[in-house]
Amino acid sequence: MIDINRILCEEFKLKPFQVENTVKLIDEGNTIPFIARYRKEQTGSLDDVVLRDLFERLTYLRNLELRKEEVLRLIEEQGKLTEELKKEILNADVLQRVEDLYRPYRQKKSTRASKAKEKGLEPLAQIILAQDINQGDLDEIASPFIDEEKGVNNAKEAYEGACDIIAEMVSDNADYRKFIREAYINDAILISEAVDEEEKTVYEMYYKFEEPVKKIANHRVLAINRGEKEKKLKVKLNAPDERIISYLISKEITNENAITTDFYLAAIQDSYKRLIAPSIEREIRAMLTERAEDEAIKVFGKNTKNLLMVPPVKDVRVLAVDPSYRTGCKLAVLDETGKFLDQGVMYPNEPKNEVEESQKLMVDLINKYDIDVIAIGNGTASRETEMVVSDMLSKYTFPKKVHYTIVSEAGASVYSASKLAQEEYPDLDVTIRGAVSIGRRLQDPLAELVKIDPKSIGVGQYQHDVNQTKLSQELDGVVEDCVNSVGVDLNTASPSLLQYVSGITKTISKNLVKYREENGKFINRQELLKVKMLGEKAFEQCAGFLRISDGENPLDKTAVHPEAYEIAGKLLKKLGYTIEDLRSGTIRDINERIMKIPVKEDKKVTMTAKNVRLKGLEALSQISFKEDKKPAKEKINDRIKVLAEELNVGIPTLTDIIEELKKPGRDPRDEMPKVIFRSDVMDFDDMKVGMQLTGTVRNVVDFGAFVDIGVKQDGLVHLSEMSDKYIKNPMEVVQVGDTVNVTIISIDKERQRIGLSMKKSRSKND
Crossing angle (nearest 10°) for helices 48-77 and 83-91 = 170
C-alpha distances out from residue 627 to 606, 637, 682, Å: 10, 13, 58
User: Residue 489 in contact with residue 549, Cβ under 8 Å?
Assistant: yes
Quick one: fold of 112-188+239-299? Answer: Tex N-terminal region-like (1.10.3500)
Quick one: fold of 4-105? Answer: Arc Repressor Mutant, subunit A (1.10.10)
User: Residue 332 in contact with residue 343, Cβ under 8 Å?
Assistant: yes
Cβ neighbours of residue 660 closer than 8 Å, sequence gap 6 or more:
558, 559, 560, 568, 666
What's the residue count for the chain?
A: 766
Quick one: fold of 684-765? Answer: OB fold (Dihydrolipoamide Acetyltransferase, E2P) (2.40.50)
Residue 754 φ/ψ region, left for φ over 0, alpha for ψ in the -120 to 50 degree band, beta for the rest? beta
Please calculate the CA angle 433-434-438 and round it to the nearest 5 degrees: 115
- 525 vs 560: CA distance, rounded Å: 11
User: Residue 298 in contact with residue 402, Cβ under 8 Å?
Assistant: no
Count of C-beta atoms within a 10 Å radius of residue 314:
10
For the chain, domain boundaries: 4-105, 112-188+239-299, 318-487, 560-664, 684-765
Quick one: fold of 318-487? Answer: Nucleotidyltransferase; domain 5 (3.30.420)
Cβ neighbours of residue 658 closer than 8 Å, sequence gap 6 or more:
571, 590, 594, 640
pLDDT at 712: 65
- 610 vs 759: CA distance, rounded Å: 62
pLDDT at 563: 96
- 564 vs 638: CA distance, rounded Å: 21
By C-alpha distance, which of 761, 766, 755 is closest to 718? 755
Q: What is the dihedral of CA 534, 535, 541, 542, to 10 degrees?
A: 30
Helix, strand, coil content of the chain in percent (nearest 5): 55, 10, 35
Cβ neighbours of residue 536 closer than 8 Å, sequence gap 6 or more:
529
Q: Which residues of the chain register pLDDT less than 70?
A: 1, 458-461, 600-630, 678-684, 710, 712, 761-766
Crossing angle (nearest 10°) for helices 261-270 and 155-171 = 50
What digits encode the pLDDT tens for the residues 285-342?
999 999 999 988 888 888 888 888 888 998 999 999 999 999 999 999 999 989 999 9
Count of C-beta atoms within a 10 Å radius of residue 433:
25
Helix runs in 337-449, H state only: 355-369, 382-395, 412-416, 419-424, 430-443, 445-449
- Assess whether the previous peptide bond of 351 is cis (omega < 30° from 0): yes
- 455 vs 615: CA distance, rounded Å: 71
User: Residue 477 in contact with residue 301, Cβ under 8 Å?
Assistant: yes
User: Residue 541 in contact with residue 34, Cβ under 8 Å?
Assistant: yes
Q: What is the dihedral of CA 143, 149, 150, 153, to 10 degrees?
A: 50
pLDDT at 607: 45
What digits encode the pLDDT tens for the residues 9-46?
999 999 999 999 999 999 999 999 999 999 999 999 99
